[in-house]
Structure 1
Amino acid sequence: MPTESTEPGVHELLDRGELTLVGRIVQASNATLVCDAVTDGRSVRCVYKPIRGERPLWDFPEGTLAGRELASYLISEALGWGVIPRTILRDGPFGPGMVQRWIDTRDRRPESGDQPDLVDICPPDEVPTGWLEVLRAQDSEGSEVALIHADDPRLRRVAVLDVLLNNADRKGGHALEGVDGSVYGVDHGICLHTEHKLRTVLWGWAGESIGDDLLADIAALADRLDSAGSLRDELSAHITAREIDAVQARARELLSAPVMPHPVGARTIPWPAF
Structure 2
Amino acid sequence: MANQEKLDDFFREIKSSLRDSDGVKVVNYYDFIHHIPMYEGSKLTKTDVQILNQSLSNNDLASYPKFNSNIINKDMAGSCSITDKPVNLNSESENFKFASLIAKTSVLMAKIDSVVDVNESDKIKELIKEINFISTQEKKYITAQSMYFLEHTPKREVVFSKFETLSKSEQEKVVEAAQYVAIADGEVDINEVTFLQDLYRAFDWNVRTAKVDMKKLAKKYHLDSNLHTPKSDVSDPIENTEVDEVLLDDLFLDFEDY
TM-score above 0.5, yes or no: no
Alignment TM-score, normalising by the size of structure 2? 0.31
**Larger RCO of the pair (alpha carbons < 8 Å, separation 6+):** 2
Task: Name the one with the larger strand percent.
Answer: 1
Task: Name the one with the larger helix percent.
Answer: 2
